Amino acid sequence: MALFPRFQLFEIEDMSWCPSWLREYSHRALHQMWNTVGPGRTSSTAAQACDILVSKLPEAPSAFTFVDACAGAGGPTPMLERNLNTRLHALGQKPVRFVLADLYPDWAAWKKITSASENISFISKPVDATTVTRYVDDKTLECRLFNLCFHHFDNDQAAKILRASIQGSDAFVIFEMTQRNIPALLNTSIVILSPLVTTLLWFWWSPMHLLLTYVIPVVPLFFAWDGYVSCIRTRSANEIRDLITAEEKLGLDTSEWTFHYGETKVLPPFGNLYWFVGVKGRRDS
């Protein structure tokens, strides 16, 4: 249940004037969130995201190619790939492929990622997730991943992304860590305070990071603005479903699709992974 209405405010990270070191700091913090094993958990956020993929997709994961459609600097994809393919390897199955795509590709980050894994590639031109028909050929099923990015889009863009995914892919998954509820606001507050520790761990050698964290608190204020705005912008599962319903009224055929949603406690005590999964071709759950 959302505490207040959704507003499409802006995040500093999305602004062209946002300094790259601040954006990189935020990416590092998000990376940490995916990689951390929360208290009382036996696996990381990324591993638990893989559990959701495995349990909700209608076919074995090996039947799919996973497309990180708004990949940014790569987000959790290397962790998802490692985790999923370690499981498949243990079962004697062939590895799945991951593809990075974005309207504003981060070639440098992607080259680093793809050189470290033969199962990850990238699309070497900008791809607009609101209009794309298909990212991969028809030999494998296509599952589009929207990792912590769906809240960045206004309703018009979000509806187009859902329409394009339903028309062009075989499954799509929206992962968010923010929401308009008390646990998400509390978890975000912890993330906002995290630079007070991580600046010392990661950037102890940088006078700029130290100054802008502890003396003039630019870093915590940036984390606070973008963190709370992310919460305010994130759609509930019902709001995502409403966007699909509105598209259905405009003629979108979803008769073959099933939608699942839920939340998984990944970073106790407050951190939940909120997921919305659309799959084509299974009507029985």
Residue, CB closest to ligand SAM: 75
Asked if 9 is part of the footprint of ligand SAM (rule: CB under 6 A), the reply reads no
- Which pair of structure tokens corresponds to residue 53? 């993929």
C-alpha separations of 238 from 30, 159, 163, 281 in Å: 25, 13, 16, 21
How many whole angstroms separate alpha carbon 46 and alpha carbon 177? 12
Asked if 70 is part of the footprint of ligand SAM (rule: CB under 6 A), the reply reads yes
Q: Which is nearer to ligand SAM, 103 or 200 (CB)?
A: 103
Q: Provide, rounded to whole angstroms, the least separation between the CB of residue 178 and ligand SAM.
A: 11
> Which residues within the stretch 113-152 sit at the binding site for ligand SAM (CB under 6 A)?
128-130, 147-149, 152
Q: Provide, rounded to whole angstroms, the least separation between the CB of residue 92 and ligand SAM.
A: 31
Q: Provide, rounded to whole angstroms, the least separation between the CB of residue 132 and ligand SAM.
A: 8
Q: Which residues contact 149 (CB under 8 A, 6 or more apart)?
A: 70, 72
Q: Which is nearer to ligand SAM, 156 or 256 (CB)?
A: 156
Contact (Cβ atoms closer than 8 angstroms) between residue 48 and residue 264: yes
Q: Which is nearer to ligand SAM, 146 or 203 (CB)?
A: 146
Handedness of CA 185, 188, 104, 124 (dihedral sign): negative
Asked if 173 is part of the footprint of ligand SAM (rule: CB under 6 A), the reply reads no
Q: Which is nearer to ligand SAM, 61 or 72 (CB)?
A: 72
- Which pair of structure tokens corresponds to residue 70? 């708004």
Q: Which is nearer to ligand SAM, 152 or 209 (CB)?
A: 152
- Which pair of structure tokens corresponds to residue 18? 């946002």
Nearest to 56 by CA among 170, 136, 140: 170
How many whole angstroms separate alpha carbon 174 and alpha carbon 257? 15
Selected range binding ligand SAM among 96-104, 176-184, 220-228, 269-277, rule: CB under 6 A: 96-104
How many whole angstroms separate alpha carbon 282 and alpha carbon 285? 7
Residues at the interface with ligand SAM (CB under 6 A): 27, 30, 69-72, 75-76, 102-104, 128-130, 147-149, 152
